[in-house]
A and B are shown apart, each in its own frame.
Chain A
Amino acid sequence: MAVPLKWVSACAAALLATGCAQLIAPPYSSDFEALDALKRTQAERMTVGTVQPTEVNDAINNLSLRGSPLRSGSGTFAKYLEDALVSDLKDVALYDAAAHTRVDAHIQKNEIAVSNIATGTGLMDVELTVSRDGKQRLRKLYSARTSFESSFAGAVAIPKGQAEYPSLVRALLRNVYSDPAFIAAISR
């Protein structure tokens, strides 16, 4: 009995996770060590501008995992990043919607690749600017690269790729928060 059930389950799993299902990226979870370190700096409170691109149909906001669309629960991946930034800054009491210091971001690359049967990869490039009272203090491209175990089986590789998205954003923002240039730009 166990073997046929296993096969039926495997078939159902393949149907569940390939081709037709629209997947939602899991919620963002911060790198709290990096955030706590940021809290210990002389950083000023800041606001977050609109992260670009906001266009829903932009390729940046439409990822595909072996043909299954991966979407952001926030509507776009730009909004996902914006929400992540705001959530992080609120966590360490550095967010103020009316602050003079403002962070803007533009996602240049946003990829999760699971086509390789052994290793999946994540890639994100974001141009970030920091301004204070309208004067630009920093403009810099930040990158994150992640890799994770993938699989020949789409029913495994696709959810692996889906689960990887928060890790990719976490890696990117960790790079931002630990960058001395960023810390200098947001400091008093």
Chain B
Amino acid sequence: MAVLAGCAHPIVVTAEKTPERVEAQLIQKKVAYAMNDADRAKEVTTAGGGGDRVSYYPYRDLEKAVRDALRSVYADVVVIRSATDAHAVRESGAALVFTPEINTTSGSPSPFTWPPTTFTSEIACKVTDASGQEVTRLVATGAGNAEFSEFKSNFSLAANRAGTDVASKLSAEIRAHDKLR
């Protein structure tokens, strides 16, 4: 039991759904987002219920949410490893590069069970142009809640719902920025 109490419970924080891509509404631009294996390997530990903790990989799990949010706005989306790698930016042919920073919180009022019943995912993006100059910054925050009775086979449910919410809000936030059109 001591071993168990000392460990964090792994969850997966992927989005349940990601924004729809409607070809007729896409901005005819190629953009990139910056993410590399070091980002994807970042493990984060936050609070669960009953004083326990949960661990997960926010960049690995939310990469599809970021990519699909961009793909719901732009005609062509690619990944590069770093926005500061001028060669990679040039090679990609992207007009804009989005560098996401992901922050999360979680918790549960339950004294008896560990899965989080509340979860937030924040994706803050620095957007640079092809020459590396900052264009703008934007932030989208998603929240998800799940009751214990809903968990059944998925203890990550609140996180998955937060992923869906943040992907949708990121898409809307990008569309709302004139500089990103």
Contacts and interface: CB of A to CB of B under 8 A. Distances in A.
Interface of A: 2, 5-14, 16-17, 21-24, 26-27, 29-30, 32-33, 36, 39, 71, 91, 151-153, 155-156, 159-160, 162-163, 166
Interface stretch (B1-9, B118-126, B135-143): B1-9
B97 to A, nearest CB: 14
B29 to A, nearest CB: 16
B14 A27 contact: yes
Contacts of A162: 10, 12
29 contacts: A7-B5, A8-B112, A9-B5, A9-B111, A9-B112, A12-B114, A13-B113, A13-B114, A14-B4, A16-B114, A16-B151, A17-B9, A17-B155, A21-B152, A22-B152, A24-B154, A26-B12, A29-B61, A32-B79, A36-B79, A151-B3, A155-B4, A155-B9, A156-B9, A159-B9, A160-B10, A162-B12, A163-B10, A163-B56
Contacts of A5: 50-51, 111
A153 B8 CA distance: 11
Interface of B: 1, 3-5, 7-12, 14, 16, 49-52, 56, 60-61, 63-64, 67, 71, 78-79, 81, 111-115, 151-156
A172 B81 CA distance: 21
Given A21-B153, A151-B3, A156-B9, A9 B52 contact: yes
Nearest to B12: A26
B35 to A, nearest CB: 8
A32 B113 contact: no
A26 B64 CA distance: 13
Closest 4 CB pairs of A and B: A9-B50, A26-B12, A153-B4, A24-B153
A7 B153 CA distance: 23
